[in-house]
Amino acid sequence: MNETPKLFVAIDQNDINSAKELIQKLSPKMCGIKVGKELFTACGPEVIEWSQSKGFKIFLDLKYHDIPNTVGKACFAASRMGVSILNVHALGGKEMMLAAKEGVDKSNNDPSLIAVTLLTSLDEVALKNIGITSSVSDQVLNLAKSASQAGLDGVVCSAKDIANIKNELPEKFLYVTPGIRLSNSTKDDQKRIATPIEAIKMGSNILVVGRPITQAKNPEAVLNEIMNEIS
C-alpha cells in the first residue's frame, strides 16, 4: 500500500488550465490531489499524469458503482494509472467490492482501495426519502463491515461516524474524511461536517478538503494553517 498524505485537496475544476493554476499554488510535500468526477470528466487522465509529474499523490474519487465485472475492470485501469487511492460505493454490495479488490490486485500497482459508506450530504431525512429505514449510524456500520469483509483498505465516512464503527473493524483500517470545514466556514451542501482537528481527534487518517482551500484568496496559506493544526 502506498504511503499517503494526511490531506488531499479536492480540485473541482472543469478545465485543465484552471486546475493546473490551482494545483501549482499547492505543495506536494503538504498534500495530495483529489481528482473527482467533474475534473476527470473534463480533463481525463491528463490531469492525473500532470499532477504526478509535479510530485503529487492522487486520490481518484470516482466512486465506482456498477455490476462487479465492470467495476473490477475499472479498478484495474485506475490502478494502472498509478493513483494512490481509489474508491467504490459500498452500496454496490460485497460481490462488487470483491471484484474491485481483484481488479486492483491484478494491476502492477498497490493503491489503497476504499469504500464510500454514505455521502456526507445525506442525513436521516434523506435516507428515508430513498427508502432506507435504518439510521445513518447503523447503515454506515453495515457498509463499513461489508467493505472490510471484502478485503478493502478502509472507508470514506464522516468523522462523526468513526467512533461507532472503529471497534468493529481491523486495527489498520483507513478512515478517509470529507466534509471538512474550517470553524468559520459555512456548511453549504454538507450535512455531517467536522473541523480538521475534530476529525483527527475522532480517528480520521486522511482528510479531504475542497472549498475551504480552493476558494480561499491564498490556498497555500490555508493549507499550511490546517497542516500545522493537525500535525
pLDDT of residue 194: 84
Q: Where along the chain do its domains lie?
A: 7-230
Active-site annotation, residues: 63
Q: How far is CA 85 from CA 2, 27, 35, 58, 122, in A?
A: 8, 18, 10, 7, 23
Read off the pTM: 0.92
DSSP 97-142: HHHHHHHHHHSSS--EEEEE-S-TT--HHHHHHTT--S-HHHHHHH
pLDDT of residue 158: 87
pLDDT of residue 181: 83
pLDDT of residue 185: 52
**Contact call for residues 57 and 26 (beta carbons, < 8 A):** no
Task: Say how far apart CA 32 and CA 101 lie, in whole Å.
Answer: 23
DSSP 202-231: HT-SEEEE-HHHHTSSSHHHHHHHHHHHH-
Q: How far is CA 162 from CA 144, 168, 176, 217, in A?
A: 10, 10, 10, 32
pLDDT in tens, the chain (231 residues): 447 899 999 999 999 999 999 999 999 999 999 999 999 999 999 999 999 999 999 999 999 999 999 999 999 999 999 999 999 999 999 999 999 999 999 998 999 999 999 887 888 999 999 999 999 999 999 999 999 999 999 999 889 899 999 999 999 999 999 988 886 555 444 455 689 999 999 999 999 999 999 999 999 999 999 999 898
pLDDT of residue 193: 67
pLDDT of residue 1: 46
Grid cell of 39 as nine digits: 475534473
Class for the domain spanning 7-230: alpha beta
